[in-house]
Amino acid sequence: MSGAAKRFWVYVIVLDPEGLADRDKVDLGKGALYVGYTSKTPEERLLTHQGAGPLAGKVFQRMEDPLASHLGMVLAHYAGPHAYEAEARRNERRTHNRLRADGYKVFGDKGRRLALPKRPPGEAPDRPRP
């Protein structure tokens, strides 16, 4: 097998409330955030969302003027790399739920519970398997 092993990142994007669609402006609390995970770099994924194309999250696709709205988007935080997609999904869900509990309106994963494979006992979270 050639090439580097795939790595996954969890990221948080701060959204400009002025650019959101009307339906997304309800109950903004402390502000609007988007939480996601990607196998690209967080910076590359931000550019995809800013383009509001078919691979962008739904909140980005609903923006009234995505070309102007992207100016208020900031990559605020990212974590990784994670060796396993399942670990990145768990981290994404935890991050989403923590931010929502802290009073933010969070778009993305929605914190839903996922049926993810469990890590074998004693295995470190980001240690690649042989």
Residue 116, pLDDT above cutoff 60: no
pLDDT band at residue 128 using 50, 70 and 90 as cut-offs: very low
- How many domains are there within the chain? 1
pLDDT in tens, 59-112: 878 887 766 656 567 778 888 889 999 999 999 999 999 999 999 999 986 655
Percent over 70 (pLDDT), the chain:
73
In a domain, 129, yes or no: no
Q: What are phi and psi of 111, to 5 degrees?
A: 70, 15
Q: Give domain status of residue 87, yes or no.
A: yes
Q: Can you give the pTM of this predicted structure?
A: 0.75
Would 65 be classed as within a structural domain? yes
Instruction: Check whether 120 has a pLDDT greater than 90.
Output: no
3-state secondary structure string, the chain? CCCCCCCEEEEEEEECHHHCCHHHCCCCECCEEEEEEECCCHHHHHHHHHHCCCCCCHHHHCCCCHHHHHHHCEEEEEEEEECCHHHHHHHHHHHHHHHHHCCEEEEECCCCCCCCCCCCCCCCCCCCCC
Tell me, what's the pLDDT at 35?
92
Has residue 66 been placed in a domain? yes
Q: Who has greater pLDDT, 116 or 7?
A: 7
What's the CA gap between 123 and 53, in Å, rounded?
Answer: 38
User: Is 120 among the domain residues?
Assistant: no
